[in-house]
Amino acid sequence: MSKPSSFSLRGRKALVAIKDDRDASIVRRQFERLGIEGVAWEPGAAINFAPDLMLIDDDFLPVVHPALRALLGHCPVIALLGTETPSRLKLVFELDPASFLVKPLRSAGIYAALVMAFERNERTNEFKQQIIKLEQRLRSRRIVLAAVLQVMHSRALAEPAAFALIRRTAMEQRKSIEELSAEITAKGMLPRAIG
């Protein structure tokens, strides 16, 4: 299944935490035009759905309500800024917003903020996946190094020759170098079939 485009917003669901009725009305109208279902949140209200996006008014900061806090980090957040003081901006940073809008809101800029929020969220998720893969590779490098050292000592080989032997054996057994290295470190030697 392909991921939805950041530019296509129809069918998405947003949790909207806005205090000012005028600002809420502007967001509601824009969401209707864009095909987004906006669900208004009131302090103390339970949240019984997983939003694709959250709009959080800086008047609700710091976010102390457990239901709202629990959603942070699970979907992109657009912060609505009314005050640009350092203390207020510090509270906004705690939301890790993907985008922001300045109050009083206007209809212009909402679409751009939404697209930027979804795109930033997608890129952040891609970076997180890359970091996980790199961390796994780093952990596997330690295993490969340990296997190379074992082969070097058991076969009296230099490092390039020991690694070449492990690589050749892994190819012949249709395993990754990391898998074979884990077997070598667990058993203390290369598998008998290859020599």
- How big is the CA angle at 181 (ends 179 and 187), to the nearest 5 degrees? 105
Question: 103 and 137 share a domain?
Answer: no
% of the chain surpassing 90 pLDDT: 58
Collapsing DSSP to helix, strand or coil, 44 comes out as coil
Q: Are residues 99 and 153 in the same domain?
A: no
Q: What span, in angstroms and rounded, lies between the C-alpha atoms of 161 and 93?
A: 52
**Domain contains 116:** no
Tokens of 187: 């058993």
The answer to whether the bond into 51 is cis (omega within 30° of 0) is no
Note whether residue 59 is domain-resident.
yes
CATH number for position 141:
1.10.10.10
Domain that holds residue 164: 130-187
How far is Cα 37 from Cα 50, in angstroms, rounded to an integer?
Answer: 12
pLDDT(194) > 60: no
Number of domains composing the chain: 2
Q: Does the global pTM surpass 0.75?
A: no
Digit-coded pLDDT (tens) for 53-82 = 999 999 888 887 777 888 888 899 999 999
Q: Is residue 123 part of a domain?
A: no
In a domain, 120, yes or no: no
